[in-house]
Amino acid sequence: MKIYHVLLCLLFSVSSLSVFGQEDINNESFKFAFVPGKGEAKVIYNGKSHAFSFLLNGKAIKQPNVNGRSDNMQFFNIDSTVFQSSFVELPQPIPSGMQLSHLTDEQERTTLEGYVNYELNYMRDDLKLTLTDVKKEWKTINSKLFLVWSFEASKPKDTPETIKTFSGQIFYSTICFNLVLDLNTPIEKKDRIEPCRALLDKISGTLTTYNNQLDLKN
């Protein structure tokens, strides 16, 4: 899904600032790498001069092939849970008053709130989903700000029988350099809500950013 320039136009009206190193962050491009291990796997996104990573823990961690998957989306099976990571680039040009290396709390919140509202409207208007019980919550995990959002969803063609089947989704969204990163999982039963939140809390707590590329051999 795309974020349009209107998102960042909503952000600020501030004076121009000259920041060393801002240009290379604005134009970063990240490549995905999956490093499996026993009971733990590392997900790495390497840029030209930056990187970020997080850990997946479980007895069985697999990365299935998904038809129609976009390059910015990755899917995993962690034991019995489906997990997805995806990212969306912030629209260019980045406003001169927005320092991606030193975002203020207000800037982070405004950007993430605009992104999430855009995604919810896209689901309603373009995907024609009926969203109910939409919830949003700000969480700081390991010094990183996340907007946690969730909902239940149904389609117009759903029958009374299919509507009885619970279908929900929970997202943890945060900013990594020039991207919005989403960590999310579908929720098929209401009693899975808290286990899914606990899983995403744990993964989010391992998210680490670097001002250098990571060596995939180590």
The CATH number of the domain holding residue 104 is 3.40.1000.10
- Structural domain contains residue 218: no
> What are the tens digits of pLDDT across the range 97-140?
888 989 999 999 999 999 999 999 999 999 888 899 999 999 99
CA-to-CA distance for 130 and 211, rounded, in angstroms?
41
Picking from 9, 21, 176, the residue whose alpha carbon sits closest to that of residue 92 is 9
- Please state whether the predicted TM-score (pTM) of the whole model is above 0.75: yes
> In this structure, what are the phi and psi dihedrals at residue 192, rounded to the nearest 5 degrees?
-100, -5
Q: Which residues contact 10 (CB under 8 A, 6 or more apart)?
A: 110, 114
pLDDT at 28 exceeding the cut of 70: yes
- Structural domain contains residue 94: yes
Least confident of 50-59, 98-107, 139-148: 98-107
- Structural domain contains residue 151: yes
Q: Which residues contact 59 (CB under 8 A, 6 or more apart)?
A: 39, 79
Neighbour tally for 132: CB within 10 Å: 10
pLDDT at 43 exceeding the cut of 70: yes
Do residues 87 and 165 lie in contact, with contact meaning Cβ atoms separated by under 8 Å?
no
Do residues 151 and 56 lie in contact, with contact meaning Cβ atoms separated by under 8 Å?
no
- Structural domain contains residue 192: yes
Do residues 114 and 10 lie in contact, with contact meaning Cβ atoms separated by under 8 Å?
yes
Q: Which residues contact 83 (CB under 8 A, 6 or more apart)?
A: 56, 75, 76, 77, 183, 184, 185, 199, 203
Q: Note the pLDDT of residue 5.
A: 37
- Structural domain contains residue 197: yes
Two structure tokens written together for 23 = 């240009």
- Structural domain contains residue 199: yes
> In this structure, what are the phi and psi dihedrals at residue 207, rounded to the nearest 5 degrees?
-65, 125
Domain that holds residue 111: 5-210
Picking from 201, 151, 176, 205, the residue whose alpha carbon sits closest to that of residue 88 is 176
- Structural domain contains residue 216: no
> In this structure, what are the phi and psi dihedrals at residue 133, rounded to the nearest 5 degrees?
50, 45
CA-to-CA distance for 26 and 94, rounded, in angstroms?
7
> What are the tens digits of pLDDT across the range 153-170?
876 665 555 555 558 899
Q: How many domains, in total, are found in the chain? A: 1
pLDDT band of residue 4 (cuts 50, 70, 90) is very low
CA-to-CA distance for 84 and 74, rounded, in angstroms?
6
CA-to-CA distance for 86 and 30, rounded, in angstroms?
12
Q: Note the pLDDT of residue 92.
A: 83
> In this structure, what are the phi and psi dihedrals at residue 48, rounded to the nearest 5 degrees?
-70, -35
- Structural domain contains residue 32: yes
Q: What is the mean pLDDT of residues 54-74?
A: 87
In a 3-state reduction of DSSP, which class is residue 12? coil
